[in-house]
Amino acid sequence: MGTQNNTNSTGNILSSVLGSVLGSVLFGGSTFDQSGLLGSWNYNAPGAAFTTQQALTNAGGTAAITNMASSLASNYSNIGINRNNTSFSFQEGNKFSAKVNGIPFSGTYTYNPENGEIALKTGKETIKGNVTKTEKGMGLMFDSKQMANILQKEGKVSNTTAVQSVSKLAKTANGARVGFELTK
């Protein structure tokens, strides 16, 4: 009976991850206006997307996204990322605060609602990414270098093997992005 609960639990997690991922397979879809971005967003699941349909097709379609999401879920778990310690909050006046793996950082942001591009400016650097609407909330995705910066420089993640694995996922295919599925 305990095995069935573990199987069901794993199935529910995978189903949640797949639903989140399939809702954000491509950028360029639905984005938020400035006011829709405002508020507190909590980590829900790993996020993965491609910048174009061609990039998605070249990578092997939605199967590539599913594989990326599964690998991200494992690596995020190894790092310790969960809904209790990872969040982003966007306030009026273009200020943001965030926690990744429980480590807080903050700064200002710029956001272009026409294409979903976002730049998070901290005291250390500018981290560029993309925002897209998903079925459950928001996808916040980054290329491999930007994601590594978020995890290592801002989130102070010391598990370099897991960070390298996450970074490699975004490098596996041209146009791939990885990040977070966030919900309010």
pLDDT of residue 58: 52
Residue found under tokens 């790993």: 46
| DSSP assigned state of 26 | B
**Structural domain of residue 152, as residue ranges?**
2-183
pLDDT of residue 62: 66
pLDDT of residue 177: 82
| DSSP assigned state of 125 | -
Residue found under tokens 């591009």: 117
Residue found under tokens 């976002």: 118
Cα-based distances in Å from 77 to 67, 70, 71, 109, 116: 16, 11, 10, 28, 27
Give the total number of structural domains in the chain: 1
pLDDT per 10-residue tile (average), the chain, 184 residues = 41 42 47 91 88 53 72 88 96 96 95 93 91 89 83 76 75 74 95
pLDDT of residue 97: 98
pLDDT of residue 6: 39
